[in-house]
Homo-oligomer: A and B are copies of this chain.
C-alpha cells in the first residue's frame, strides 16, 4: 500500500506524542510503503531484499503502542517499509488435550478469541488495547492483560516461537519448560521488532471458565486496600482480576457512573449514608477495589469467601457486583477519552511500573509528589490518579494517569517535563521503566538505569548478531 492515509496510519502509534504530532500535522518521518505479507516465506524474502538494498523495516501489528515503538523517524536517510502482519491472522492448530495453540501473529484480539471459541478455549489475554492490538504486538512488547493475575503476562504464555531475523529463522520447540541454555523465547519476547519479525507463536490456552463473578469493595484508604490485596496475592487465592483504585481514581470512576433515578437513587443514597455513618468511610479518601472470579460455582464460592474474609479484616465493605460489571462494560473504552479531552486542551497520559510489595506505598507517594510537582512546574492545573491492576506473589504494578489543562504553546515541552518526572521517579524508587508498555523511543532514556549498561550492551550484541545492518526497527529499545 502506498496511499498517504495508510502510510501515515502506519507511521504512528497511540503515544501522547504520536497523537499530538498527527493533530499538529507534524508528519515528518512517514514510512515509504506498507507491505502486508501473506506467508512467512514472504517475510523472509522481504528481509533479504531489505538487507540487500538497505531498507529499514518496522513490523506493524495493530498500531496501538504508546511507547514510540512504531516511530518512522530515522537518523539514517534510508527507505522505510512498514511490515503490516494483518494477513497472517490464522489459528493454525489447537491441541485441546495439551491446552496449547499455534497461531500466526497478525491476528487481532477479538478475532483470536473468536477462532478459539469452537475449541472452548481462551488465551485469557485482555489488554486495554485488546480490540486494536495483535498477538505479535503483545509478544514483541511483553504485554499484560487485565486477567494477568491468573493467566500471566504474555511472556508466561509462550511455549514456542518462529522469528524471522536477517540471519535466519529462529525456531523453538513447544515444551512446557526446558534446560537448554539461555531461554531463546525470552530473548525474542520483548525485542520490539528490533531483532526480527515474530511470525508464529505456540501459546498455552485455558478452558473457557464455567462461571464468572465480579465483586466490588470499598476501603477506607489506599493503604488498607494495598494491604488487603497483598494478603490475597500472598495467600494464592488468585481472583483473575484484582484492581485497586486510589482515592482520586475512585472519585473519577464514581463520577463516570450513570445517574440513578427513582427507588434506585433512594437506596443508593441510603447506602452512602450508612457507609459514612456506620462504616465511618470518608468518601473523599475511600478506595474502590474490584475482583473478578472464575471457575466452577464451587471454586468461585471458595475464592470469594477467602477474599471476603481478608478484605473485611482490612475494613473493606462489599459493594456487590455493580462496580465490577460496570468496569467490564466500559473496560476497552477508557483510552478514547483522551481524544475527547484533547479537543478541550486537557492533555492526559499514563505511565506504569511494577515493584515489590514492601515498596508499593513508598513508590506510590514518591510518584504522586513527583507528578504533582512537575505539573506545578509547568504552570498548569493538573490531576493525578493511580491504580493497581496486576498483582503477583512478590509485588504489584502501579498505573498512573495524569492530566493537565494547558493553554500554552509549550504542550510538548510540558509533557516532557511531566513524563520525565514520573519515569525518573520509577528509577529513583527502585522500580522498572514499564510493567507492560515497552521501551520504544519514549522509555529508551531510562533503559540503562533499569537493566544496567552491561545489560544494554548484551541487547546491542544480540542485535548486532541477528541484524548486523540494523534494518529492523532501528532506534527502538536501543540506539
Contact = CB atoms under 8 A, between A and B. Distances in A.
Contact of A179 (B143, B171, B458): B143
A457 interface: yes
A180 B354 contact: no
A179 B430 contact: no
B177 A183 contact: no
Nearest to A432: B178
A459 B170 CA distance: 12
Interface in A184-234: 184, 186-192, 195, 204, 206-207, 230, 234
Interface string A397-433: 1000000000000000000000000000000001111
A477 B459 CA distance: 19
A455 B356 contact: no
Interface in A423-458: 430-439, 443, 447, 450-455, 457-458
Interface stretch (A77-85, A377-385, A386-394): A386-394
Contacts of A368: none
A302 interface: yes
A5 interface: no
Nearest to A168: B454
A435 B357 CA distance: 32
A204 B356 CA distance: 10
B168 A99 contact: no
Given A358-B98, A436-B179, A439-B180, A172 B451 contact: yes
A255 interface: no
Contact of A142 (B95, B179, B464): B179
A97 to B, nearest CB: 4
A155 interface: yes
Most chain B beta-carbon neighbours within 10 Å: one of A190, A447, A454: A454
Contacts of A397: 177
Interface string A94-105: 010111100000
Interface in A114-162: 141-144, 153, 155, 159
A301 to B, nearest CB: 12
Contact of A465 (B142, B395, B436, B460): B460
A454 B432 contact: no
Contacts of A358: 95, 97-98
| Range of interface residues on A (Cβ < 8 Å) | 35 or more
Contacts of A356: 95, 98, 100, 159, 174-176
B190 A179 contact: yes
A173 interface: yes
B466 A176 contact: no
A165 interface: yes
Interface in A284-333: 302
Contact of A182 (B190, B359, B433, B454): B190
A458 B466 contact: yes
A169 interface: yes
A477 B436 CA distance: 32
Contacts of A144: 177, 179
A169 B452 contact: yes
Interface of A: 95, 97-100, 141-144, 153, 155, 159, 165, 167-184, 186-192, 195, 204, 206-207, 230, 234, 302, 353-359, 390, 392-397, 430-439, 443, 447, 450-455, 457-462, 464-466, 477-478
28 contacts: A98-B359, A99-B234, A142-B178, A159-B356, A169-B452, A169-B454, A172-B451, A173-B432, A174-B394, A175-B356, A177-B397, A178-B432, A179-B190, A179-B432, A179-B435, A179-B436, A179-B439, A180-B433, A180-B434, A180-B451, A181-B459, A182-B187, A182-B188, A182-B459, A184-B452, A187-B187, A461-B461, A462-B462
